[in-house]
Amino acid sequence: MTGSLLVTGGAGFIGSRIVAAALESGWRVRILDSFRDDVHASPPSIPDGVDVIEGDVADAVVVDRALDGIDVVSHQAAKVGLGVNLDDAPDYVASNDLGTAVVLAAMGRAGNRRLVLASSMVVYGEGLYLGSSGEVRPAPRSAADLAAGVFEPRDPGTGELLRPGFVTEDAALDPRSVYAATKLAQEHLAGVWAHAAGGRVAALRYHNVYGPGMPRDTPYAGVAAIFRSAIERGDVPRVFEDGGQRRDFVHVDDVARANLAALDWTAEQPEATVRAFNVGSGTVTTILEVAQALADTIGGSAPIVTGDYRAGDVRHITASSDRAARELGWTASVPFADGMRDFATAPLRA
């Protein structure tokens, strides 16, 4: 199923891959992007045949124009990353939450009722953990444990160290950064809009997305880009804690395909439908394994495990993407080894 598609943030890392995949599938595509300097150090390349509107998603006049004649919206525009400090909070809220509210209000005026929302696994906070009695919500890791090199969370009742499991979309939500709080607020705003306007929302909770065109050398870059940049500079990649932090790294092209599947899904749902979907590879990978894979491919120094830590960091977060497989008909197809091998030499964004 195709039609006319608006991709907000369509010149960005993930948005640009959605645009390319949508064009290949026969969609008519329009991009709304602010082309912020902190995201685009140089003008991005826009494919032929794409209508481009430059402007901010928080500008209602611009958004109204961008929605003219559009069937469905893929809302990717956002300030990403965990930020540096609380001074980032106003920009995160303005970009992510005010921007989303403006888009939703404009969709209401335009009579557009189909939305795919870029959310994130950060809404969960810590992942799912198992103790001797079953699933357990972990206590915050203590300063004493971290200083002693005990990095696994504990059962708040028994004190036993917990084992990580796979998070489903029904898990409790516990955002632990400004960015995470704004992503959860985006989901809530979209839910309110769907019920008020009869909309259909697929909220895609991306896990650790990597691939060509990923931003590099910024405080907001993903860990894969940070490791790669360090190796290319001739530095030793430094891995915090013991390197055993579990994550799910999913290739950006798989994420683009998930968006196309979700666009089709919105056309089939009844009014006022809101559904969250984990978008991950289904493969557990440790942070140390990422650093080692990049070092092996690029030929740089082997990573070192520092034992350093940051209070408040999430220890493990890996997800089940079974719901996306069942309901969207989507599964990731790029194996970690292949994706990292290509990523190690792929062009990145300055």
C-alpha–C-alpha distance, residues 320 and 339, integer Å: 20
C-alpha–C-alpha distance, residues 104 and 116, integer Å: 12
Vertex 330, ends 287 and 19: CA angle to 5°?
85
Q: Annotated catalytic residue: which of 92, 124, 129, 179?
A: 179
Q: How many CB atoms lie within 10 A of CB 40?
A: 16
Vertex 111, ends 108 and 115: CA angle to 5°?
70
Q: Is 179 a catalytic residue?
A: yes
Q: How many CB atoms lie within 10 A of CB 214?
A: 20
Which 3 state secondary structure label does DSSP give 266?
A: helix
- The DSSP output letter for 11 is T
C-alpha–C-alpha distance, residues 83 and 81, integer Å: 6
C-alpha–C-alpha distance, residues 123 and 310, integer Å: 19
Residues 6 or more apart in contact with residue 61 via CB below 8 angstroms: none
Q: How many CB atoms lie within 10 A of CB 280?
A: 29
Residues 6 or more apart in contact with residue 170 via CB below 8 angstroms: none
- The DSSP output letter for 70 is -
Vertex 173, ends 169 and 179: CA angle to 5°?
110
What one-letter code names the amino acid at 118?
A: A
C-alpha–C-alpha distance, residues 67 and 48, integer Å: 20
Work out whether the CA dihedral 151, 155, 156, 160 comes out positive or negative: negative
Q: Identify how many contiguous H helices and E strands the chain contains and give both numbers.
A: 11, 16
Q: How many CB atoms lie within 10 A of CB 303?
A: 23
Active site residues: 179
